[in-house]
Structure formats: structure tokens, C-alpha cells
Amino acid sequence: MDQTHIKYTLSWAAMAAMGFVLIFMAQMVGLIGHYGVTTIVLIGINVIAALGLNLVVGISGQFSLGHAGFMAIGAYATALIMGVLPGVMGFIVGMVTGIAVSGIVALIVGIPTLRLRGDYLAIATLGFAEIIRIVIMNLKITNGPAGIFGIAPFVSWQLVYILAVITLIIVVNFVRSMPGRAIIAVRDNEIAAESLGINTTKYKVIAFVLGALFAAMAGSLRASFIQSIAPKDYAFMQSIMILIIIVIGGIGSMSGTVITAIALGILDTLLQNFGSLRMVIYSVILIVVMLIRPQGIFGSRELSLKKWLFDGGDGHDTDHTENA
């Protein structure tokens, strides 16, 4: 806790607060209307989900294609509980329940499947997410393919902004904690990590469960914001959309994830004017970005405030980003 560190933390907090004030002002002045607020909320929700997935794919190196399944759990738990328990209380209880259920499911799914490697794990997680969706689609309580409507709206952009910032703080600090370092060690060389006494499966499961918790939180926020949910919102494509954010941002780069989520959110809004050409343009941009920068926009580097503000920091940021 030297002085640079305190200065760094303070300036980080100042930047986060500045973003908040900036959006607030823009809204007050009328620079962003109802539509802009929707974009901001959806970006924030994507940031939360993508940071969770980046923890799994980028930091622990486990290729998961099942993120949408956990988002679905969060969303449906929130919607169902809010149906029984009205008011803000219902929303809070629903979100917490969703996060808890998602964590438990991730634990049950993760322990056996995380022994699988690479693409086999990808396909197993994809399978689980699809099973979750198909079960939701066929249950009576979840109202089948039609989904649940009229969920009370308790989500404002302020709430999403604060939760996204908290998620970022948790994820970044987790990566630098003891378990975080262990997870990186397992990613970089599983055999070497194991020989140093790291329980590889345990740390993979920790990353996977954490990722699922954030996915559920994102799903829960989305349910209350959009006010309706349907199983088709949580299909394979949803997992892919989140995966695209982290790959374009640079796998393992948290700042890359945040910036890409914002950029893609804005791009999506801009492309709304193109009607049915929208997805065609989007896919061409996706291919071109990958061809130009296969390692993602930021690679595995982080955009570091410390490097900008206090040139030559103590290397706090550089050591974990060099690998990967």
C-alpha cells in the first residue's frame, strides 16, 4: 500500500464516478434520450456478463460456450420470484436466488466437465446450456416457449452502472489474488501448476462458478429491464454474442472487454438504421476485425491508468499481462 497505489485507486474511482456524472449530465441536458438510456443499460449488462465469461475463457483458459444457460437461470429465477413476491424486495430476493442457483448449477456442471479439455469442454458446456434452455421451454412454471411477461421494472441505468463497476473491481482484484494467480498458472501450464501443488480442478471450478454468478446477475438485470423473457433469448447465439465481446476486446483483457462491449453496443445502435442489412454489416465487421487483429483489439494487455498517470508504475499491471 504505497502512495502510488492509493493515488492509483483514487484516480480509478474518480474515473468511474466521472463516467457516472457524465451520463447523468448528458441525460439531464437531453443529449441521450430514452433510446440512449436503453443502449447504456444493455451495454452495462453485457459488460457484467462478458467480464464473467472473460474470467472463465481468458483467465482460466477454459473454453465455455454455455454462458447463456447461466444468464437464463438468473433471468428466470428473478422473474419467477418477482411473480410471487412483488416490489423491490422481490427483485432483490430474485436476483440473489438466481445468482445462488446459477452458482450451484455451475458447481454441479463444472466438477465433472472441467476435466475435459479445450473443444470437448466447449461442446459439453454448449450442451448443458441447451439442456437448460430446452427444460425451461418445456416446463409449465416457466410458461414454455412464450416466456414470462410483465416483469416489474426495477432496473435503472444507475443500478446497472454501479453493478458493472463493482463487477469490474471484483474481477480485476480476483485476478490478482492468490486464487487468481493459481488460475492463471493452471491456464499457462497445467502440468507445471499441478506439480507445484495447485489443485487444478478446484481452481478451474472456482473460475467457472464465478463466471456463472456474473452471468446470472446479468440475466437477472436484463429480465427486469426488458420486462419479458423467453427461452429463445438464451439460445446458443446469446453465448456467442458474449464470446464475441471478449475475443474482440482481447482474451484476458478486462479493459478490452469493457471497451468492446461499449463499442459494440454503440455500433449496434448505429446499425439499427440499416434495417435488415444490420446483421450483414455486423458480420462483415466481425470478420474484418478478426482478420486485422486476430489477438483482439487489446491483445492480452490492459489499458492501465497507472501507466498513463504515473508513468513507470511498480509493474503491478504488467506482470500478469505478459503471459497468455
Partner 1 sequence: MTIFIQQVINGLMLGSVYALLALGYTMVYGIIKLINFAHGDIYMLGAYFGYFFIKVLHLNFFIALVLAMAVSAVIGVLIEYIAYRPLRHSPRIAVLISALGIAFLLENGMTYLYGSDQRSFPQAIKTVQYHFYGIQVSNIQLIIAVTSIVLMLLLTYVVKRTKMGRAMRAVSADPDAATLMGININHTISFTFAIGSALAAAGGVLIGLYYNSIDPLMGMTPGLKAFVAAVLGGIGIIPGAAVGGWLIGILETMVQATSFSAYKDAIVYAMLIVILLIKPTGILGKNKREKV
The residues that touch partner 1, with contacts defined as CB under 8 A, are 57, 63, 112-113, 115-117, 119-120, 122-124, 126-128, 130-131, 134-135, 137-138, 191, 236, 240, 243-244, 247-248, 251, 276-277, 279-280, 282-284, 286-287, 290-291, 294-296
In the complex, the smallest distance separating the C-beta of residue 262 from partner 1, rounded to whole angstroms, is: 19
Give the end-to-end CA distance of the chain in Å, rounded to a whole number: 27
Comparison of 3 and 195: residue with beta carbon closer to partner 1? 195
Residue of 69, 99, 96, 93 whose CA lies nearest to 81? 93
In the complex, the smallest distance separating the C-beta of residue 278 from partner 1, rounded to whole angstroms, is: 8
**In this structure, are residues 122 and 62 in contact, taking their beta carbons and an 8 Å threshold?**
no
Comparison of 69 and 219: residue with beta carbon closer to partner 1? 69
Comparison of 81 and 264: residue with beta carbon closer to partner 1? 264
In the complex, the smallest distance separating the C-beta of residue 116 from partner 1, rounded to whole angstroms, is: 6
In the complex, the smallest distance separating the C-beta of residue 214 from partner 1, rounded to whole angstroms, is: 20
In the complex, the smallest distance separating the C-beta of residue 180 from partner 1, rounded to whole angstroms, is: 21
Task: Give the residues across from 58 on adjacent strands.
Answer: none
Comparison of 128 and 161: residue with beta carbon closer to partner 1? 128
Comparison of 85 and 240: residue with beta carbon closer to partner 1? 240
In the complex, the smallest distance separating the C-beta of residue 194 from partner 1, rounded to whole angstroms, is: 10
**In this structure, are residues 159 and 95 in contact, taking their beta carbons and an 8 Å threshold?**
no
Nearest-5° Cα angle at 221, 227 to 210: 150
**In this structure, are residues 51 and 168 in contact, taking their beta carbons and an 8 Å threshold?**
yes
In the complex, the smallest distance separating the C-beta of residue 64 from partner 1, rounded to whole angstroms, is: 12
The Cβ-side half-sphere exposure at 92, using a 13 Å CA radius, reads 4
In the complex, the smallest distance separating the C-beta of residue 138 from partner 1, rounded to whole angstroms, is: 5
Comparison of 35 and 120: residue with beta carbon closer to partner 1? 120
Comparison of 28 and 291: residue with beta carbon closer to partner 1? 291
| Euclidean distance between CA atoms 216 and 97, whole angstroms | 9
Comparison of 71 and 248: residue with beta carbon closer to partner 1? 248
